[in-house]
Structure 1
Amino acid sequence: MKPVCVLGNGQLGRMLRQAGEPLGIAVYPVGLDAEPEAVPYQNSVITAEIERWPETALTRELAIHNNFVNRDIFPRLADRLTQKQLLDRLHLATAPWQLLANSSQWPQVFANLGELAIVKRRVGGYDGRGQWRLRPGQENQLPADAYGECIVEQGINFSGEVSLVGARGHDGKSVFYPLTHNLHEEGILRASVALPQPNPALQQQAEQMLSAVLDELNYVGVMAMECFIVGERLLINELAPRVHNSGHWTQNGASISQFELHLRAILDLPLPTPVVNTPSVMINLIGTALNPQWLALPLVHLHWYEKEVREGRKLGHLNLNDPNAASLQHTLHALAPLLPSEYQSGLAWAQQRLN
């Protein structure tokens, strides 16, 4: 099988490499500043763990590589403006939005979108960065350089957040995991819960929405779609053209992980629907040093990224899965004393989702 080069050498590239090893697929995560001659890209299939990248000697070479899968799709989805325009053209529901070009628009923005405006940088913002929640009178909190570089959305009163992770092959066939329920705090994913039998109406709705995007773009590989639940329908929040944090539970909770599924798709290998038989929980480890006592709990799978510990940094995650939801709840309860206070709301939320 052809080797795979991953543009970006963070934790997603690392986990793609780990997923390739049992299949005999050589996966090379590469830094953006790597010298082209040091990267075996000529006869490789190219993918990426990030949506946007600066121009470097390496990225200039890859930009003309015939085997860079989805190469022209990344910049289109990395810009929230062009991403929203795509969703509008496909008549897929999102929060009402508009481009925020200058400060004189604020009266019209609040009149059209309501009293809570969510401002997001068109490119680059993630994990709560580059985003602002503004009400009338708070407009001066937005940096002057944001105008023209941001979109503004209506603040949505939603009952829950879910994501759908799916993959499309070269033959146009798509497969999906069950919907994942997510808890975000301050814009950062804290915990995810996936159940083997999701709400069938929401699952069908999500699959139809993501299928429309995948087919329109002729996309190949894994894509994630984050949504708000509003009543009986879904509103698309964002698309991620790559493996995704909310799909990490698949490493231990599905017959094929999202990382293996992505490699299968881009290499044109068989792409069966992954089998999910048990509930799963994923807890993000953010700014917290490694605690070996987590491993004393038999249902806990630790995935550590070997990064320097810094506040707000994703350093790893814990996956838990078991056929018995009560056993998962018991383990989450036992895990609580082993994690700092900021994790407690996420652990309690996950226990409640398992009811």
Structure 2
Amino acid sequence: MNKKIMLLGSGELGRELTISLKRLGCYVVACDRYARAPAMQVADEFRVFDMLDGQLLDQHVKELNPHIIVPEIEAINTDMLMELEEEFVVVPSARAVSLTMNRDRIRDRAHELGLPTARFAYAENLEELLACYERMDCKVVIKPVMSSSGKGQSVVHAGRRQDAAQAWHDAVGNMRGDRAKVIIEEFIEFDDEITLLTIRQKNGHTIFCPVIKHEQVHGDFKNSQQGGFAIGGWEQKAQAMAKLITDDLGGFGLFGVEFFIRNDEVIFSELSPRPHDTGLVTLYTQDLSEFDLHARAMLHIPVASVSLMRSGACCTINAHHAADDYEIMGLDQAEQILSVQVMLFDKPNCYPNRRLGIVFGSSLEVAREGHAKISIQ
């Protein structure tokens, strides 16, 4: 009997995971808060409901009786997920999902494990935030403990109390879930920001994808590249740190572990217990994409290693306006450029900064050249 997979979250990452699971014979039910989400378009079945509602989540899980539950987004009632794990398999584990969906909990755990982190503090109201900000007395990043795609994240320089107050309102206004709590952390002047895709397998063999360098603007992923750049002596340090924290979280699957690199120093940033948006580049570069690897790990299909077939990069296509109907122009011009490929996510509407597609190329310069040909109307 084919495995029934219940996918909680049906965005572009969920779509690619659904395709990978279908290739391995799985029956996929895609769930999200809105209809015609990307993964729903390729799944066997779909459900539309608010996954933050524990009662609804429990109801749909019990009705579907899946072999595996796979969270793909942050907006999930993790308390109910922990209860459901007593009867169902959650990938990679309900504990991993609960810890990583809350920046304070995963940051605290990283600190307890001895991983180097930026200086940080938490605030649950404006007064606490301003007190922490003044005490740290440096350039900081302020963001919700629970959010997605960089929403609600601000960089505030020292001595800008009014900006810090505005950052509090931005963070609380963009938080996911029901936690009015923000993290304020030292801004690291880094050389590189990387993602290390880490795959935990049932056979006990943890493997790593080649390092991905990425760039974020206001906390939102804009481009990433894999291969074609020098890697310093920090790679083994990053792998050891990624293995330490993913072993602590447990379960089987792919984790996206983010680090800052400063000289040869490796500083832990964040972690996602699922395919990472910066890892979309692996659709272009690797023999098995991050989605193929996550699917195999959850199904206990062993993978000995990951091969980089070619260097590559990707740039995101983001909307600049709100509309229920839109058109993406310039694909013909973009794909005339050697090595450029364009992938669209076919989301039902757009709003400012919503990710609608991605442009791949053999290098970051080539991907940017293709990206420049794309427009949204």
Question: Which TM bucket (shorter chain)?
Answer: 0.7 to 0.9
Identity value in percent: 22
CA offsets 1:121-147 (integer angstroms, 9 cap, x no match): 111x23332223333232432339959
CA offsets 1:309-346 (integer angstroms, 9 cap, x no match): 3321001112224xxx6xx75x44752641469xxxxx
Q: 1:297 aligns with which of 337, 343, 365?
A: 337
Contact persistence 1:196–1:276 (CA under 8 A): no
Q: TM-score of the superposition, structure 2-length normalised? A: 0.78
Structure 1 segment 176-215 matched on structure 2, within 5 A: 176-195=208-227, 199-215=231-247
Could you tell me how far 1:22 is from its partner in structure 2? 2.8
What is the root-mean-square deviation in Å for CA atoms of aligned residues?
Answer: 3.0
Secondary structure, counterpart of 1:212 in structure 2: helix
Contact persistence 2:6–2:31 (CA under 8 A): yes
1:42 lines up with 2:65 in the alignment: yes
Distance of 1:111 and 1:145 partners within structure 2: 18
Q: What 5-or-longer segments of structure 2 have no aligned partner?
A: 34-47, 50-55, 173-178, 321-327
Q: TM-score of the superposition, structure 1-length normalised? A: 0.83
Distance of 1:282 and 1:190 partners within structure 2: 8
Q: 2:350 aligns with which of 303, 306, 309?
A: 309
Distance of 2:31 and 2:180 partners within structure 1: 33
Distance of 2:352 and 2:129 partners within structure 1: 34
Structure 1 segment 57-68 matched on structure 2, within 5 A: 62=84, 64-68=86-90
Secondary structure, counterpart of 2:341 in structure 1: strand
Distance of 2:201 and 2:226 partners within structure 1: 23
Q: Which moved more, 1:243-252 or 1:65-74?
A: 65-74
Distance of 2:369 and 2:140 partners within structure 1: 39
Could you tell me how far 1:105 is from its partner in structure 2? 4.8
Alpha carbons of 1:337 and 1:128: their partners in 2 closer, same or farther (altered >3 Å)? Answer: closer
Distance of 2:218 and 2:246 partners within structure 1: 29
Could you tell me how far 1:86 is from its partner in structure 2? 0.4
Structure 1 segment 333-348 matched on structure 2, within 5 A: 334-335=369-370, 337-339=372-374
Counterpart residue number, 2:324: none
Q: 1:140 aligns with which of 165, 169, 181?
A: 165
Contact persistence 1:52–1:74 (CA under 8 A): no
Q: 2:289 aligns with which of 235, 257, 261?
A: 257
Tell me which amino acid in the other structure corresponds to 1:11: E
Alpha carbons of 1:106 and 1:283: their partners in 2 closer, same or farther (altered >3 Å)? Answer: closer
Q: How many residues align?
A: 333
Q: What 5-or-longer segments of structure 1 have no aligned partner?
A: 342-355
Counterpart residue number, 2:5: 4
Distance of 1:198 and 1:41 partners within structure 2: 48
